[in-house]
């Protein structure tokens, strides 16, 4: 006669036929069962692999086991061979398997912090914390940019790893926050009420443009130009040399040179600078995306690296504390209005620089 031992299933126990056993394990997560010839062997298997008993008590019945934070809450106590652990009761009922997959930081107390078992510490991820299984930890780091995690034997080591990285992250954020605040306030996507008149000769205004011939190819030639309507002796242009040459890089370089010239003429950075450009990529980069990229260590929302990071970093550096109004202008309109006139001039200068 055969005996079917179910250690982990709907109703753990010993069954005399496979049909009854199958009902208890089929579809049950992480079911554990085995066939034996002797009943004693089956019983020993069940006892050896039986999951920790879950006991639900009020705090008053747990006073001798651990101290909990609130006498008004119900808590779970998990007792096993090495330790007793007290957890906050979740809003929904949970199984033993799910219970062990909960982050350890929800644990209230333990009578043996040096217990040795795998602890997966996620310091930087979707939900930082300490996890009991690699499957749960992997969910928190997969696809997350610059995730930081590690496996430890003891809870104490795992907690130290998470806390140390948390401190480093806070220090980095403290340095980053002032820069982000300045960029959020000072980068404007269009002229607003109270802003200086761009056609006033005392206002700092620059029309920038980039040009690329055979853009994106190995043989690409690119150039940029910065034109100052009120101070044409500041006008400048140049051909891109070395490294990758694209139209977008030319647009970024034109903006960098425009800001550098403004900083030279107005070192206190007290004046608002208008930058007119036909590149919506440049405008969106500086008014909508750059702060998020910086917070993610120059990664996009999908985790991929930001293109032209070197030029974007330089842009942030040269901006300093200056207020910049990034004004979009349509290109090649053939109109004779003020904006079209100066944009066409910047376009011609950029094309000439690319061909030079």
Residues of the chain with pLDDT below 70 are 50-117, 145-146, 166-179
List domains and CATH numbers for the chain: 3-49 (3.40.970.10), 119-171 (3.40.970.10), 185-355 (3.30.420.10)
pLDDT of 278 reads: 94
Cα angle for residues 115, 120, 126 (degrees, 5° grid): 140
pLDDT of 69 reads: 34
Cα separation, 120 vs 106, in Å, equals 15
How would DSSP label each residue in 6-66? EEESSS-EEESSHHHHHHHHTT-TT-EEEEESSHHHHHHHHHHHPPPEEEEE-GGGGTTT-
Q: Is there a contact between 273 and 231 (Cβ–Cβ < 8 Å)?
A: no
Q: How far is CA 31 from CA 14, 17, 134, 249, in A?
A: 14, 17, 18, 57
pLDDT in tens, 289-324: 998 898 888 998 888 899 999 999 999 999 999 999
Q: Is there a contact between 38 and 3 (Cβ–Cβ < 8 Å)?
A: yes
Closest CA relative to residue 176, chosen from 318, 286, 291, 309 = 291
Q: How far is CA 93 from CA 90, 100, 206, 246, 265, in A?
A: 7, 13, 64, 57, 68
Q: Is there a contact between 349 and 235 (Cβ–Cβ < 8 Å)?
A: yes
- Note if the pTM is more than 0.85: no
pLDDT of 100 reads: 36
């Amino acid at each position: 006669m055969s005996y079917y031992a179910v250690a982990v299933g709907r109703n753990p126990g010993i069954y005399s036929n496979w049909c009854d056993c199958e009902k208890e394990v089929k579809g049950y997560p992480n079911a554990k069962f085995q066939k034996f010839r002797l009943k004693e062997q089956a019983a020993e298997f069940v006892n050896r692999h039986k999951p920790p008993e879950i006991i639900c008590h009020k705090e008053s019945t747990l006073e001798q086991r651990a101290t909990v934070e609130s006498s008004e809450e119900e808590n779970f106590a998990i007792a096993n061979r090495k330790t007793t652990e007290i957890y906050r009761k979740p809003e929904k009922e949970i199984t033993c398997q799910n219970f062990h997959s909960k982050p350890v930081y929800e644990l209230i107390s333990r009578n043996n912090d040096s217990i040795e078992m795998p602890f997966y510490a996620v310091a930087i991820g979707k939900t930082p914390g300490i996890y009991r299984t690699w499957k749960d930890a992997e969910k928190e780091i997969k696809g997350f940019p610059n995730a930081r995690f590690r496996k430890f034997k003891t809870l104490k080591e795992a907690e130290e790893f998470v806390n140390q990285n948390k401190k480093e992250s806070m220090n980095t954020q403290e340095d980053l926050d002032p820069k982000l605040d300045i960029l959020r306030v000072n980068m404007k996507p269009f002229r607003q009420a109270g802003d200086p008149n761009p056609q006033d000769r005392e206002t700092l205004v620059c029309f920038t443009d980039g040009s690329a011939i055979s853009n994106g190819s190995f043989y690409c030639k690119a150039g940029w130009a910065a034109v100052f309507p009120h101070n044409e002796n500041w006008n400048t242009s140049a051909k891109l040399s070395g490294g990758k040459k694209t139209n977008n890089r030319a647009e970024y370089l034109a903006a960098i040179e425009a800001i550098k010239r403004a900083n030279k003429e107005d070192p206190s950075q007290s004046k608002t600078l208008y930058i007119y450009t036909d590149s919506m990529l440049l405008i969106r980069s500086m008014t909508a995306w750059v702060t998020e990229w910086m917070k993610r260590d120059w990664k996009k929302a999908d985790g991929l690296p930001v293109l032209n990071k070197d030029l974007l970093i330089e842009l942030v550096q040269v901006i300093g504390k200056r207020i910049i109004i990034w004004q979009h202008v349509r290109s090649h309109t053939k109109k004779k209005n003020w904006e079209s006139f100066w944009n066409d001039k910047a376009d011609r200068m950029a094309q000439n620089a690319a061909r030079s």
